[in-house]
A = this chain, B = another copy of it.
Amino acid sequence: MKIIELLTWRYATKKMDPSRPVPQDKVDRIVEAARLAPTSSGLQPFEIISVTNPAVRVQIREIAWNQAQITDCSHLLVFAAWDNYTAERINHMFDYTNEVRGLRNEDWENYRQQLLNTYPNRPAEVNFQHAARQAYIAFSAAVIAAAEEHVDATPMEGFDPNKLDDILGLRSRGLRSAVMLPLGYRQADGDWLVNLTKVRRPREQFVTEVR
């Protein structure tokens, strides 16, 4: 299917079938789409935590408005962004890039210095917000890739991020949770949204042309 068809097919699944696991190769391709997504300066300032452990998911559900998809889904993907940009993190990615490409490029090194001179000096919160936006780029790629796999998913921001960070031990890893994506298969007979029309603002209220 084309991207537009995939986006039309998908919906924020409200009821997952707890008896249907998503095959691991599908999950792997969904995660791979997120890994390949573009990010600012190629820093990829986030990680994915894939939660299948039932007890952990019970805990997460408790700090996420009791949303049933968290425990009914097959894999719960948590997108967690860097809590800050540090010189170490920036250097790691630039060094790794040089290693993979087998070259050092003067413009690229100048660009590294520009980042090193700006990012680590900004407040951590500014950097986290920037990193979280990058996580959303990958999150969106994962949403579309899930649809391509005919896997249902539920974009989910309704949780207490600080408590989720505690449950998953994210802060000690320099991460903060940004958004979650339960993956699974819809249980249509318990899903109030499945048969409702997808609503989007009309095109003329969405795009303006400056000719």
Contact = CB atoms under 8 A, between A and B. Distances in A.
Interface string A170-190: 000000001100000000000
A3 B144 contact: yes
A3 B208 contact: no
Interface in A24-75: 29, 31-33, 35-38, 40, 42, 44, 47-53, 56
A151 interface: no
Interface string A1-42: 011100110101000000000000000010111011110101
B97 A51 contact: no
Nearest to A43: B201
A136 to B, nearest CB: 4
By Cβ-Cβ distance, the 6 closest A-B pairs, closest first, are A140-B140, A7-B36, A136-B136, A137-B140, A51-B210, A97-B199
A33 B4 contact: yes
